Amino acid sequence: MSARVFAGWRGVLMLVVAAACVIAPVRSVQADLVVTGTRFIYPAGQKALTLRTGNVGQHPILVQSWLDSGDFTADPSRETVPFLLTPPVFRLDPAGRMSLLLRHTGEAMPKDRESVFWINFLEVPARDSSQKNLLQLAYRLRMKVLYRPEGLPGSASEAIGKVAWTYHAADGDIEAHNETPYFVSLARVELEAVAAAGGGHSATPITLTGLTVAPLARTRFSLPAGAAPRLGVAVLRYYAANDDGEIIEAKAALRQGKTRGTQ
């Protein structure tokens, strides 16, 4: 496998529109909240991690922050996570900044691999009482927190190039086998494809985005209906973020998985 670095990746921001569907002018179509970083690494034994936020807009905003264990739809009041994030609610004036503290609360965590959690930031703009028909939009940003135990072998950057890939034709999916103790966060996966009739190569590769490969595990990803990837050497390219937010490009062979009934 080969790898190279791409700098400047900003990650994927998730936009959640929390407003009624009415005919009204919209004050802003972009989030004013900015958070420094693309994801957060929490080393075991560290007392706290500082998260820096700011308001780049022209109006005050209210921000609510909380953590979840992976379920995007979970009720924050019912989520139990081994972290405390303060302050949970704060106001940011234009050009204002706020530092949040993330603390591990001491619960036992797996020592042989990383654990993943998600920090949520919900931005609510201030209401303008002079414009009664103004449509208010709330933006939700979700970012990974990786709890990293001490003494793990290798490195997170090395783990990117060690993922092994298998195609399971009967199930229409590909499998990523990660033998390392680190999560591999994939911005994009590209596979060379064969034509529908099987007589040549398609000009359009199969592309998957926003995937995560768990440590010490096999993770499967479904392919688009009717898609058939080409097998062989260096026909799969994937792009993953390292600890600094840079993108590492890696190439790998895509192997054929065992068919049903094969021992």
pLDDT digits (tens, 9 = 90+) for 124-159: 987 766 666 556 678 899 999 999 999 999 999 999
What the block records as the tokens of 244 is: 């600094």
**Residue-wise over 24-62: b if at least 16 C-beta within 10 A, else e?**
eeebeeebbbebeebbbbbeeeeeebebebbbebeeebe
Q: What is the pLDDT of residue 134?
A: 59
Given pLDDT bands bounded at 50, 70 and 90, which one contains residue 14?
very low
Q: What is the pLDDT of residue 225?
A: 84
What the block records as the tokens of 45 is: 């034994």
How big is the chain by its Cα radius of gyration, in Å? Answer: 22
- The answer to whether the bond into 94 is cis (omega within 30° of 0) is no
β-pair partners for 184? 213
Measured distance CA(206)–CA(208) in Å, rounded:
7
pLDDT at 1 over 50: no
Measured distance CA(86)–CA(101) in Å, rounded:
5
pTM score, two decimals? Answer: 0.80
Q: What is the pLDDT of residue 263?
A: 43
DSSP 229: B
pLDDT digits (tens, 9 = 90+) for 169-214: 999 899 999 999 999 999 999 998 876 554 555 547 899 999 999 9
pLDDT at 10 over 50: no
Q: Is 32 helix (H, G, I), strand (E, B) or coil?
A: coil
Which residue type is seen at 59?
H
pLDDT digits (tens, 9 = 90+) for 25-65: 445 557 899 999 889 999 999 999 999 999 999 989 999 99
Give how far Cα 196 sits from Cα of 79, 112, 171, 253, Å: 46, 43, 17, 21
Q: Which residue has the tokens 């994030």?
A: 85
Query: Mean pLDDT over residues 80-88, rounded?
Result: 95
Q: Would you report the helix, strand and coil content of the chain in percent, each value rounded to 5? A: 5, 45, 50
Mean residue pLDDT of the chain comes to 83
